[in-house]
Structure 1
């Protein structure tokens, strides 16, 4: 595999630094806007009289539209420049933030959430933008710093409960309007779009013959293999970020502010893991590490699956009663450890995508975000149905556990077929 030599050159000037700083900030603001419904869930459910399934659909709506928008926006970024598409997507979500603050019925909230999901175009465009500008030897670190924008969910956890208590929940969505407009303006003033890369008519990075049409490589398994694994970590993170405040409030009897603050370490851990994973990917190949990462997350999910239970054992002289309930500190410690490793996996996998599919980063990266968004949109609904059908709040972790088992089977098949092995 060979990439253009100018990708290895050190880019001088302040504009690449502006991109490295502003792109994660735009990423963070998009994620923060997605978590509005999650943090303000108590107020919305009381005002609208929503049951668990209705609320789950409200959480899923931004992810559905975001997943559908990711690949087309990545294509537009590849053709017209990531900066322009990022600015357009940031401006596009502004009227929907205003609409959330002024909506009064469930349908209006669903439509507003669908509009906020279009901000995922900024995520896909930013991925293409950073991938094109960063030097190849530091691509993992740059992409990891960009992915650390997922910590924007923590911004909502920290600020929205305070704003809601002080000024009412309708003021909370308006809080993001000025920062979104400011970042869009800074991108317009201080960032540039690089020259579009030359497209080879002979072959792509994977050695496959070029085919007419940008989506033609999706006929092969190679663009899918990393995107499928990445989609689990990305989708699980987004869904858990949206679900955690309500879960902590119901499971441990916490108020809105306490539940949001206790959920804060999870997105922070994932963001830090992204940076570490990207930097790791610059110096070592992730193909061996991914087995340890997925195995660790699988163990964490297995432990998180256990609901509180009571077990009676008939002893020799008396009946022994055993009670188990995960303490809050134990749950949070396990969650943070899992989040850190999940972030490590996301950062390293994105570095692999950049290395193996450099000229097709828009396609494969957009595919990963699309699959992850669709998987993440499915999870809140499955969490709600698990509560209704199984009657156990930890059913969501059970579904994640089963999904990761399927993901690992895909990895095993990929490795056995030879596609996942290192090429000479």
Structure 2
């Protein structure tokens, strides 16, 4: 490698556009000398941006708890569920273009934009949520704009995956996503704080608190993040990944894990109000705990997958989610509020663990295919460059499809409560899906012994692939 190409990552920060001229995290000497420090700095600001994005995205799960006749809103439970469905849907649809934007504009530049644009839906929410008798369609439009916060996840994960070597991606991606997912819990804690201190008639305080945070996060990304060198082939990676069968298998699994996390996170407060008649204060007192624990669990799901294999951890996790949903159904039928809250909280934790383990399956799957290509005579550097490119694209696809699972969960709740006043039919549907994911994981990723690497256990040659 030429001396010119060996320009240090730290020195590259002085270059035009803050684009690093060289980046190879699989080169252990480079990684230990400076790569890991640059990666950690970018990871920190990526987490902050994604965290605020998740908060804005899930803000309507909190704001709807305030919408009562006391402040001039007489929306039905069905209309409130619609208000949390819309941002979920828009956020899911934006994840693919957000993921592709990293290759086109650079991780740093796109993070700055994706953070700053959150000022629009947040500012509008702060203004209109306090105006009595505002029609539903206005809130639906603002909620749709809040969906941009959901797109942050895909661009952030795609960017961070490229910063870290495969041996650390499970932990790094889990930490990045977990820190972002915490935004769901934090905005709900903020809602609880507002209700507990000034009452349930000041929802604008929740939105207004995020305006200065968005400015600070945007400035931090602009000043401290870097763009990675991106090969031209990166721009066609999404199209290539779309034709890959494992893209869709893993995406279906991610519907069960992340779809559950974000769907339950958006709906939990409304479910407590619809199922047990909880007041805004009672609902807000419980809704933050599940997302908080689920977010903290995500990095450990990645860590467990690094050690035992993504598919093995995912398989056990879906078995536990199916059991937890059965308990939730029992709690609903018996009208046991403590058991209901406890079972829901456990499901949040399991969804967080499953998020981390499922995402670990992505780089492991493509690394396995690179191994097969090399064994057939392919160039090692090209094979693993393709694996990294497709892994980044699959992260975007899985993130988008998984978020659509959150839409499905909220629509299932909306339908169940509108039809019977109970969420039992929705819980049965979720149970069936978890069982289907359990079977899919076993059949596609665990049944054959030679699928160990696909499960997330990388053989020695994969770990040194960047130096071949």
Task: State the TM-score bracket (shorter-chain normalisation).
Answer: 0.7 to 0.9
8 A contact 2:237–2:393 mirrored in 1: no
Aligned residues: 396
Unpaired segments ≥5 residues, structure 2: 1-22, 129-133, 367-387, 454-458, 460-468
Tell me, yes or no, if structure 1 residue 36 matches structure 2 residue 89: no
Q: Distance in 2 between matches of 1:67 and 1:419?
A: 35
SS of equivalent to 2:44: helix
Matched position secondary structure for 1:306: helix
Does the CA-based 8 Å contact 2:318-2:435 persist in structure 1? no
Q: Does 1:48 align with 2:73?
A: yes
8 Å CA contact 2:158, 2:393 repeated in 1: no
Cα distance in 1, alignment partners of residues 412 and 451 from structure 2: 34
Q: What is the aligned partner in structure 2 of residue 23 from structure 1?
A: 46
SS class of match (1:49)? coil
Cα RMSD (Å):
2.6
Shift, 1:115, TM fit: 0.9
Aligned: 1:132 with 2:132: no
**8 Å contact kept, 1:8–1:137:** no
Report the TM-score when normalising by structure 2. Answer: 0.78
Please say which of residues 120-129 and 277-286 is displaced more in the overlay.
Answer: 277-286
Q: Tell me whether 1:114 sits opposite 2:138 in the alignment.
A: no
Contact 2:181 2:291 in 1 (8 A): yes
- 1:279-312: CA deviations, max 9, x gaps? 1222231222222111010000011012555xxx
Q: 1:419 to 1:378 in 2, by over 3 A?
A: farther
Between the aligned partners of 2:308 and 2:447, the Cα distance in structure 1 is 23
Describe the SS at the equivalent of 1:288. helix
- Between 55-64 and 79-88, report the one with greater CA deviation: 79-88
Shift of 1:198: 6.8
Match of 1:326 in 2: 336
Matched, 1:341 2:350: yes
Who is 2:13 aligned against?
Answer: none
Over residues 332-363 of structure 1, what are the superposed CA-to-partner deviations in whole Å (9 max), with x where a residue is unaligned? 33233322222111111112213334322332
- Structure 2 CA distance for aligned equivalents of residues 128 and 36 of structure 1: 24
Aligned pairs for 1:309-388 (under 5 A) are 309=333, 324-328=334-338, 330-357=339-366, 358-388=388-418
Structure-to-structure mapping, 1:281-320, within 5 angstroms = 281-306=305-330, 309=333
Question: Aligned runs of 1:212-227 on 2, under 5 Å?
Answer: 214-227=238-251
TM-score, scaled to structure 1: 0.86
Contact 2:294–2:349 (Cα < 8 Å) also in 1: yes
1:274 to 273, 284, 298: 298
User: Is 1:77 matched with 2:107?
Assistant: no
Deviations 1:66-115 (A, max 9, x none): 11110111111123212222221221221111111222321111111111
Q: Following TM superposition, by how much is the alpha carbon of 1:24 offset from its aligned partner in structure 2, in angstroms?
A: 1.8
- Distance 1:234-1:8 versus aligned 2 partners, 3 A rule: farther
Cα distance in 1 for partners of 2:277, 2:296 equals: 29
The gaps in structure 1 that reach 5 residues or longer are 201-210, 310-323
